Chains A and B, each alone.
Chain A
């Protein structure tokens, strides 16, 4: 049965090479903006929720509970695939590359039990959602925080 999950050698090697490239690319990109480009999780400034635990953020973004601890529904916002911040965010949150996060969603989506975050294209759209809905939860660079937002979690 071992053989069933053991990958054939060439494929395994390919994976390793790909992983190496991916990691080197990310480290190169993130290195320059690492300090100042801090990612924070924000919600509406008027949201009574002051702070979120990491696990609460995981539950929200990975589709377990679309609600705050007080029972109010939450609306997690996800940026589109290509954005740099998205992959950084998930890396920091669940330690997974985007590909795996996507695979996760494709695996559970069809059961209908879990709902992925609402996908938006830009920070402007998040701004717009903030004014429309009072329960937005989104991730942005710390430099992008405005008055309408309240930081509820910082990645150390």
Chain B
């Protein structure tokens, strides 16, 4: 406990100081008053002494009795207060202690004729013993002062004792008690004995009331804190353990908070980052292959007051890793009006791969990688729907069956892959090759008004490529593959797909006639 400067000591000190001051001032004043009144008293006493002797003196003066005069004067000087006296009448002059008379102040009294009023017959001078009078006055005054001081001492002691028992001790008791009390506990101040209903009791009661309130507040706050901690734990768990990467962005797009799933995502695309920093601190858009697309879609969505959702591809720093994420961006406003963006990045790469694979399986030829018949039909239907003019070329390989029979299916497959490659390489970008089935291919060629010439030109180039010899078997025997093709035009020939195919097929069979005899005539156009 901290040592406090004793209030009792201070109180006593000030009481003593005040008492001394008052006693000093009072004694000084009383001294002066007593002194003055004593001096006055002495003067009056001398007058009274004169009164006492005046009738005798008057008679003595009247009868001119010197003995009587002597008696009076000597009687007067017997008083301690009178130093000397001198009697003067026409006939008699007498003085006692006359040798001391010079230079002394005196009181002069007039003596009248005892029988005739107002007839002055003598004078009596009385010299007061000032030294004695002053000494006496001083003694009395000093006595009074001393008495005052003694009184002051007793009053002071009484005041100190009363203050100590009534104020100081209870206050010190309360102060020490309060000092030892831990706020928020059920400890309370005790009311000191004999306090009754004093202000100190009131102070203690009020203090206890405050302590009770503080305790209640503490308990309430503790409860709240527990609740908050619990919630925070839950939310943290929710955030940390979420399978989906979640990040919190500042308004400038900087990642200021992220969860573990996000770290896994970063690892997957091979981004180096500081693992100790929860903020990550990079711009999120920098992780995307086409950041502008993302920004644009988010801005558009926000302009419509919607969450921004979209599928975007992340940059990849690892080979053969392609990561697509579904991005959901929602603005968050914190309590202090600060704005953030919450971004969820769902990894949809696998789903996308599967979808792609599924789509390919359905529409593409697994061996050659170009469209299969199913895919081809869809393309033709779409072209018909779009009313886009095209040439449909039905192409059937010559010599394929022999390769298959002589060198096996692998060699046949090799031929098919080769042909598909050549088609892809030779055709223009806008043309589409389709493996129609077996060794049959369909080509959709975009054509203009010179459709026959254009088709012939393209097909000649294709023939050029495919005509190259293959080398199969142990002896590397030279094998040549050729083809026959029939062409129909949409919408020139017909606008029906089946008819287009049928007519192209007819034309192709015409060409087949010449496959041995005149291989140059490999291309026939369908007649209407």
Measured CB to CB, the residues of A under 8 A from B are 1-2, 4-5, 54-55, 58, 62-64, 93-96, 104, 107-108, 111, 113-114
Q: A62-B115, A94-B115, A107-B59 are in contact. Are A5 and B65 (CB under 8 A)?
A: no
Q: In the complex, what residues of A have CB within 8 A of residue B45's CB? A: 1
The 4 closest A-B pairs by CB, nearest first: A94-B115, A113-B65, A1-B45, A114-B63
A108 to B68, CA, bound (A): 8
| A residues less than 8 Å from B64 (CB atoms) | 64, 113
Tell whether B62 is near chain A: CB-to-CB under 8 Å. Answer: yes
Chain B residues whose C-beta falls within 8 Å of the C-beta of A63 in the assembled complex = 63
The answer to whether B67 and A62 have CB atoms under 8 Å apart is: no
**A141 CB to nearest B CB, Å:** 22
Contacts of B60 in A (CB 8 A): 108
Q: How far is the CB of A123 from chain B (nearest CB, A)?
A: 25
Q: Are B62 and A64 in contact, CB atoms less than 8 angstroms apart?
A: yes
Identify the B interface with A (CB < 8 A): 44-45, 48-49, 51-52, 56, 59-60, 62-68, 114-116
What are the residues of chain A within 8 A of B65 when measuring CB–CB?
Answer: 108, 111, 113-114
How far, in whole Å, are A95 and B112 apart by their CA atoms in the complex? 15
Complex A-B: 19 CB contacts under 8 Å? A1-B45, A2-B48, A4-B52, A5-B52, A54-B116, A55-B116, A58-B115, A62-B63, A62-B114, A64-B63, A95-B115, A96-B115, A107-B59, A108-B59, A108-B60, A111-B65, A111-B67, A113-B65, A114-B63
In Å, the complex CA distance between A54 and B44 comes to: 36
Q: How far is the CA of A2 from the CA of B62 in the complex (A)?
A: 27
Interchain CB contact (< 8 A) of B49 among A1, A64, A94, A107:
A1
Determine if A62 and B48 form an interchain contact, defined as CB atoms under 8 angstroms apart.
no
- The count of A-to-B residue pairs whose CB atoms sit within 8 angstroms is 48
Residues of A within 8 A of B52 (CB): 4-5
Interface centre among A4, A94, A111 (most CB of B within 10 A): A111
Bound complex: CA A4 to CA B49 (Å): 10
Q: Are A93 and B115 in contact (CB under 8 A)?
A: yes
What residues of chain B lie closer than 8 Å to A58, measured between beta carbons? 115-116
**Can you add 9 more A-B contacts, CB < 8 Å, to A5-B48, A54-B116, A111-B65?**
A1-B45, A5-B51, A5-B52, A63-B63, A64-B62, A94-B115, A107-B56, A107-B59, A113-B64
Beta-carbon nearest neighbor of B51 in chain A: A5
Q: Report whether A111 and B68 are in contact in the complex, using a CB–CB cutoff of 8 Å.
A: yes
Q: Which of A2, A55, A93, A104 contacts B59 (CB 8 A)?
A: A104
Residues of B within 8 A of A95 (CB): 115
Closest B residue, CB atoms, query A115: B63
**How far apart sit A54 and B67, CA to CA, in the bound complex (Å)?**
27
Closest to B56 in A: A107
**Distance, CA A62 to CA B45, complexed state (A):** 31
Smallest CB gap from A96: residue in B: B115
Q: Which residue of A lies closest to B115 (CB)?
A: A94
What's the least CB distance linking A54 to chain B, in Å?
A: 8
Bound Cα distance A2, B47 (Å): 10
Q: List chain A residues, Cβ under 8 A from B63.
A: 62-64, 108, 113-114
Tell me the smallest distance from the CB of B190 to a CB of chain A, in Å: 64
Considering the chains assembled together, what is the distance between the CA atoms of A114 and B48 in angstroms?
28
Determine whether the beta carbon of B114 is less than 8 Å from that of A1. Answer: no
In the complex formed, the residue of A with least CB distance to B68 is A111
Complex CA distance for A83 and B198, rounded to whole angstroms: 88
Chain B neighbourhood of A113, CB < 8 A: 63-68
Chain A residues near B114 (CB, 8 Å)? 62, 94, 104
Closest to A61 in B: B115
| B-chain residues with CB within 8 Å of residue A108 when the two chains form the complex | 59-60, 63, 65, 68
Residues of A within 8 A of B44 (CB): 1-2
Nearest A residue (CB) for B60: A108
Complex interface: chain B residues within 8 A of A104 (CB): 59, 114
B119: nearest chain-A partner, CB-CB: A55
